Structure 1
Amino acid sequence: MELDTVPLGRTGTQVSELAFGTWRFGREDDTGAIEIEQDHAHRLLDAYDAAGGRFIDTADMYGDGRAETYVGEWLAERDREDYVVASKIYWPTREADPNGRGLGRKHLRRQIDRILDRLGTEYLDLLYIHRWDEATPAREFMRTLNGFVRDGRVNYLGASTLEPNAWKIVKANEIARQESYEPFKVVQPRYNAVNREIEGEFLDMCYEYDLGVIPWSPLAGGFLSGKYTRGESPPVGSRGATDKQFVDSYLTPENFDVLEEVEAVAEEVDASPAQVSLAWLLTHEQVIAPIAGATSIEQLEEDLGAATIDLTRSQFERIATAK
């Protein structure tokens, strides 16, 4: 199969219809072991690339910078211009440094240089703020971010994980309009068939401001993969077996209503629940490129198979109204 391309909002840039997320690259688990080492990260990127994938999502804090390093080493063997690369800034990078976090100019300028160095590139296609910074005035960080665009180190700006606070993005983009700064062109909220908090005001704001929507957690932390069954104990080793917060958030009667509808549609279209959950987002008229974050080649190939599934409007609505 070959992934199609879709517009990156109103930017003129084209991206793969499924993005590849790298948040587990170089990440240490509770025992201190690295979840996805460099060699395995490169094999996953190879598999994504082989399917025509060209949209890579990372962040400065994924694996304490190792994720960007892994991606940069992989890109070094390829033509950088073939790929659209996104990263993010916000979280602390130096715990003892009060200026080593947030969206203050000192932190932003330090981090953009380190991001580009780790990725081995002269520019980012897309830079997100990873959270809103209450300590830094929006006019201040929008001015700094605009400078990155003006000097060519960043092509476009986005905002990640600001849902459901639509007013914050409106505030930042109105400042950008007033000052002729680069505005946010895309947002990256959590969105899937059970996490629906962006529906309504947030999605309406995205429509009014021509903001593309790139969802993270499209499978609800694995809940929508089909591994859980109502009334049965979660599989050994799964998040549902070890994480009380996950249990309280996801293993609810209402969410199982959605999952069972996803599974019914999956049977109808001869696909897996994970594929149908991703296809549901791909069918959504406001969604650009859900971020698939696989830990194995098999899981990645399954996720990519979602691009071959065409849901009917009735199937889309059945899942949408099941919650």
Structure 2
Amino acid sequence: MEFRHLGASGMKVSEITYGNWITHGGQVEDDAATACVRAALDAGITTFDTADAYANGAAEEVLGRALKGVRRASLEVFTKVYFPTGPKGHNDTGLSRKHVLESIDGSLARLGTDYVDLYQAHRYDAFTPLEETMQAFADVVRAGKALYIGVSEWTAEQLRAGQALAADLGFRLVSNQPQYSALWRVIEGEVVPASQELGIGQVVFSPIAQGVLTGKYKPGRQPPAGSRATDEKGGGAQFVQRWLRDDLLARVQELGPIAAELDLTPAQLAVAWVLQNPNVASAIIGASRPEQVAENVKAAGVVIPLPLMERIDEVLGDAIERDPARTAANAPAQRLA
């Protein structure tokens, strides 16, 4: 495993982060989830990402149990706040002072830890004054409940405004967690340049585009049984559906020979691709089986030569989404409750 600094902070994280969105508390049973976490630890992963909204708190509980007994100082545990939780009442969402300060205590209890290494704003809250949110985060840090603060899917403008307020309050934003893959590059035009300027690193999710970049989804065929595209129970199907176009899937099949040139699987190539961006601190992988963790971890430390990076661009062509406006579109347009 290789390690990188998280933004301009002094903390290092593993190049591969294990994330339990969708899977823990939802798609897979607790025993399988625990086996995946143990496989991540065995593979050298020290960074684990979750959120209070995942399975309405159950994902945090599963992760906490799976990490029990591991030396806490050897881990980097991340969680998030924003989306509706608990009974989902009128104050059980957003980034108000009330919700942030109550949510961190709930997350710590579920995770079974006294602090998290990184506490993240899961989205930008346009309905709470940014000053209120940043003051709440400052108080979380001062109370020792989080060591660092990050955000997720914020625009370049939002990052600049948040960082300016954070600096006035005596802390810094160190990370952003956006979607990023060879197919989804919307952060490259504005978010990454702003982040480099501000000392913010990316911890990216969906580097395999919900499994599409593994090549297992074939044009003109039904999704394989047991794949995320068939997961109606855990919600995976709704997220992968947008990628299941025959023209796009045909292009993805052409990435197989490129991966083979590097002695990688298509999934490993996809994870290694996002790690070529120097502003990326870590790529989040998920898994429903331990062997998936062991395989994807092999992307750490891989250097993809420039000619092959250019060939990937040529193969994917106009299937690549680059519009920076898609980041703002990911933020909820109205308060969720």
Q: Would the TM-score normalized by the shorter structure come out above 0.5? A: yes
Task: Note if contact 1:176-1:182 (Cα within 8 Å) is conserved in structure 2.
Answer: yes
For residues 294 and 70 of structure 1, the distance between their equivalents in structure 2, rounded to whole angstroms, comes to: 14
Structure 1 residue 261 displacement after superposition: 4.3
Task: Note if contact 2:159-2:195 (Cα within 8 Å) is conserved in structure 1.
Answer: no
Task: Note if contact 2:2-2:301 (Cα within 8 Å) is conserved in structure 1.
Answer: no
Structure 1 residue 254 displacement after superposition: 4.9
1:157-215 deviations in Å (ceiling 9; x for gaps): 111123xx2211211112223x2342311100000010111121111111111210111
What residue number does 2:108 align with? 116
The alignment partner of 1:302 has SS state of: helix
Which of 280, 287, 291 matches 1:294?
287
Structure 1 residue 246 displacement after superposition: 3.8
Which of 51, 67, 74 matches 1:82?
74
What residue number does 1:31 align with? none
- Structure 1: runs of 5 or more not aligned: 29-34
Aligned residue pair count: 311
Tell whether 2:183 aligns with 1:185.
no
Tell whether 2:211 aligns with 1:230.
no
One-letter amino acid of the counterpart of residue 168, structure 1? Q
For residues 89 and 138 of structure 1, the distance between their equivalents in structure 2, rounded to whole angstroms, comes to: 15
For residues 207 and 316 of structure 1, the distance between their equivalents in structure 2, rounded to whole angstroms, comes to: 22
Tell whether 2:37 aligns with 1:45.
yes
Structure 1 residue 247 displacement after superposition: 4.0
- Structure 2: runs of 5 or more not aligned: 318-337
- Relative distance call for 1:245 and 1:80 in structure 2 (3 A) is closer
Structure 1 residue 252 displacement after superposition: 5.5
What residue number does 2:7 align with? 9
The alignment partner of 1:174 has SS state of: helix
One-letter amino acid of the counterpart of residue 11, structure 1? S
Task: Note if contact 1:25-1:70 (Cα within 8 Å) is conserved in structure 2.
Answer: no
1:67-114 deviations in Å (ceiling 9; x for gaps): 211222233312111100000001111345211111011111111011
The alignment partner of 1:197 has SS state of: coil
Which of 298, 304, 311 matches 2:304?
311
- Relative distance call for 1:319 and 1:185 in structure 2 (3 A) is same
- Relative distance call for 1:251 and 1:8 in structure 2 (3 A) is same
Which of 165, 176, 183 matches 1:194?
183
One-letter amino acid of the counterpart of residue 22, structure 1? N
The alignment partner of 1:221 has SS state of: coil
Task: Note if contact 1:161-1:188 (Cα within 8 Å) is conserved in structure 2.
Answer: yes
For residues 197 and 10 of structure 1, the distance between their equivalents in structure 2, rounded to whole angstroms, comes to: 22
For residues 152-191 of structure 1, the aligned pairs below 5 Å read 152-162=144-154, 165-177=155-167, 179-191=168-180
1:242-263 deviations in Å (ceiling 9; x for gaps): 8577444442535643x24422
Task: Note if contact 1:143-1:181 (Cα within 8 Å) is conserved in structure 2.
Answer: no
For residues 131 and 250 of structure 1, the distance between their equivalents in structure 2, rounded to whole angstroms, comes to: 26
Structure 1 residue 25 displacement after superposition: 4.4
Q: With a CA cutoff of 8 Å and minimum separation of 6, indicate the structure with the bigger relative contact order.
A: 2
One-letter amino acid of the counterpart of residue 135, structure 1? F
For residues 81 and 313 of structure 1, the distance between their equivalents in structure 2, rounded to whole angstroms, comes to: 37
Which of 166, 188, 192 matches 1:203?
192
Identity %: 35
The alignment partner of 2:147 has SS state of: strand
What residue number does 1:253 align with? 247
Structure 1 residue 135 displacement after superposition: 1.3
What CA RMSD, in Å, does the superposition of the two structures yield over aligned residues? 2.0
Task: Note if contact 2:78-2:119 (Cα within 8 Å) is conserved in structure 1.
Answer: yes
